[in-house]
Structure 1
C-alpha cells in the first residue's frame, strides 16, 4: 500500500473511532449522580447544571444534559404559551429544592453545599 493510501486509511479509521470516544446523553445521565455526589456539578437557579469543579467528565456531562434540558424547556414553554426563561426559573427552583444535603447548589452566584 502506498503512503498516501495508508494515510487515507488511517484518517478514515480515526474518523470512525473518534465519535465512539465522545460521551452521549445516556452516559451523561448515568454519570450525573456520581458527578453530583463527588462535588463536580451542581444545580443552578436558572434550571441548568453548572460545573463546580472541572474534573473528569464534569464538563461533558454538564454540556450534554444542559442541551437536553434547554430543548425540553423550549417545548414546555411553547406548549404552555410562556417564556422559556419562566420554565427555566421554575425548573431551577424545583431542582434546588430536590437536591439532597451534601450536594452543591448555586445561590447568589456562589456554590454552596446544601
Structure 2
C-alpha cells in the first residue's frame, strides 16, 4: 500500500512539473492579455490544458478585481480595464494583447 501511495504521489508531482504555466503559454503564443483584464486563448481551438490554465488564472483575477472594486468604489469592469492597461505595459516583447476593439496585437 505504501509503495502504491508513493508511486501515485510521485506521479502527481511529476505531472505538475510538466503543467503549462501562464508565462510559458504567453511565450508560446497560446494566450494573451484580453482587453477585459483577463487572459484569453489566441487560437480558436485551444487545447484542454490551455483552457484549464485560462480558467484558473481568470478565476483568481476575477476574485482580485472584485476585492479591489469593493475597496475602491469601482465596478469590476473598471478594475479590469485598469488591469488591462497595466498588463500591456508589462507584456513582454513577442507576447500578445488585445486592443480596445478586440484585435490581437503582438508586442
Q: Name the TM tier (shorter chain).
A: 0.7 to 0.9
Gaps of 5+ in 2: 1-11
Structure with the greater alpha carbon radius of gyration: 1
Scaled by the length of structure 1, the TM-score of the pair is 0.70
Q: 1:88 matched to which residue of 2?
A: 80
Alignment of 1:27-66 (within 5 A): 31-53=21-43, 54-55=46-47, 57-66=49-58
Indicate yes or no: 2:102 matched with 1:109.
Answer: yes
Gaps of 5+ in 1: 1-19
- Structure-2-length-normalised TM-score: 0.75
Query: What value does the CA root-mean-square deviation take over the aligned residues?
Result: 2.3
Aligned length: 90
Runs of 4+ off more than 3 Å = none
